[in-house]
Amino acid sequence: MKNISYKLLSLVFLLFLNCSKDTATETEEIDNPLEPVNLYFPPINSDTWETTSLDDLGWNTDAEQSLYDFLEENGTKAFLVLKDGKIIMERYFGDHTQDSPWYWASAGKTLTAFTTGVALQEGYLSLNDKTSDYLGMGWTSLSTEKEDLIAVWHQLTMTSGMDDTQGDCKTPDCLTYIADAGTRWAYHNAPYTLIQDVVSNATQTDFEDYFDLKVKDRIGMTGAWISSNGLNNVYWSTARSMARFGLLNLNNGSWDGTPILDDEDYINAMKNTSQELNESYGYLWWLNGKDSAMVPQSQIVFDTELIPNAPDDLYAGLGKNDQKLYLVPSQNLVVVRMGEDTGGAALGPSGFDNELWRFLNEVIN
| The amino acid at 269 | A
Phi, then psi, of 345 in degrees rounded to 5: 50, 35
Q: How many helical (H) and strand (E) elements, i.e. helices and strands, does the chain have?
A: 13, 11
In this structure, the number of other CB atoms found within 10 A of the CB of residue 343 comes to 16
Phi, psi of 325 (to 5 degrees): -130, 105
pLDDT tens-digit series, residues 329-359: 999 999 999 999 998 767 889 999 999 999 9
Which CATH architecture does the domain made up of 6-364 adopt?
3-Layer(aba) Sandwich (3.40)
Q: Supply the pLDDT for residue 232.
A: 86
pLDDT computed for residue 347 by the predictor: 80
Task: Determine contact, residues 315/287, Cβ cutoff 8 Å.
Answer: yes
For residue range 174-212, what is the model confidence (pLDDT) as tens digits? 999 999 999 999 999 999 999 999 999 999 999 999 999
Q: 241-295, pLDDT tens digit by residue?
A: 999 999 999 999 999 999 999 999 999 999 999 999 999 999 999 999 999 999 9
Q: Which of 4-8, 218-222, 283-287 has the lowest mean pLDDT?
A: 4-8
Domain residue limits, the chain: 6-364
Asked if 364 and 26 count as a contact pair (C-beta separation under 8 A), the reply is no
pLDDT by residue (tens digit) across 25-51? 333 344 544 554 689 999 998 989 999
Average pLDDT over residues 133-162: 98
The pLDDT value given to residue 15: 52
According to the model, what pLDDT value does residue 13 have? Answer: 54
**Burial annotation 88-116 (CB, 10 A radius, 16+ → b, else e):** bbbbbbeebeeeebbbbbbbbbbbbbbbb
Strand, coil or helix: 332: coil
pLDDT-derived band at 102, boundaries 50, 70, 90: very high
- Residue at 242: amino acid letter: M
Q: Strand runs (DSSP E) across the chain, as ranges? A: 76-83, 86-92, 102-103, 224-227, 233-237, 254-255, 258-259, 286-287, 315-319, 323-328, 333-339
Please report the pLDDT score of residue 73 as a whole number: 97
Indicate the SS3 state at residue 72: helix
SS3 for 56? helix
